[in-house]
Structure 1
Amino acid sequence: MSPEHTGSKKGPDYPMGRLTSLERAMQMLGIASQAVIPDFPPDASGEDSVGAYLAQQGRLPLLTRVEEQQLAGQLVLGEKSAKKLIAHASSLSAEARERLTENIVLAATARDMLIDRNTRLVVSQARKFQNRGLPLLDLIQEGNLGLMTAVRRFDPDRGNRFSTYATWWIRQGISRTIAFQSRTIRIPVHLSEALGHLYSAFQELSQTLGREPTPKDLADHTGLTLKKINKYYAVLRMQPMSLDKPLDLDDPASDSLNDIIPDLAPSVQHETDQSALRQAVRKAFASLKASPQDKDILAYRFGLYDGIDHTLRQTGAKFKMTGENVRLIEKKLLDILRQPQYNLSPDYLD
Structure 2
Amino acid sequence: MKARKATRSEDSLKAYFQQIKTTPLLSFEEELDLSRRIMQGDELAREKLIKANLRLVVKIAKAYASTDVSFLDIVQEGNLGLIKAASKYDYRRNVRFSTYAAWWIKQSIVRALSNKRRVIRLPHRKEEALKKIQKTYYTLTQRLQQKPTVDQVARELGMAAEEVGSLLNASSAIASLDSDENFESGTLMDMCEDYTYDPDSELIKKSMHEDTMRFLEHLMEKERQILLYRFSFYGGKKYTLKSIGERMGISPETVRQIEMRAIRKLREHADELREYVYQ
User: What's the TM-score once normalised by structure 1's chain length?
Assistant: 0.37
**Greater relative contact order structure (CA < 8 Å, 6+ sep):** 1
Higher share in helix: 2
User: What's the TM-score once normalised by structure 2's chain length?
Assistant: 0.45
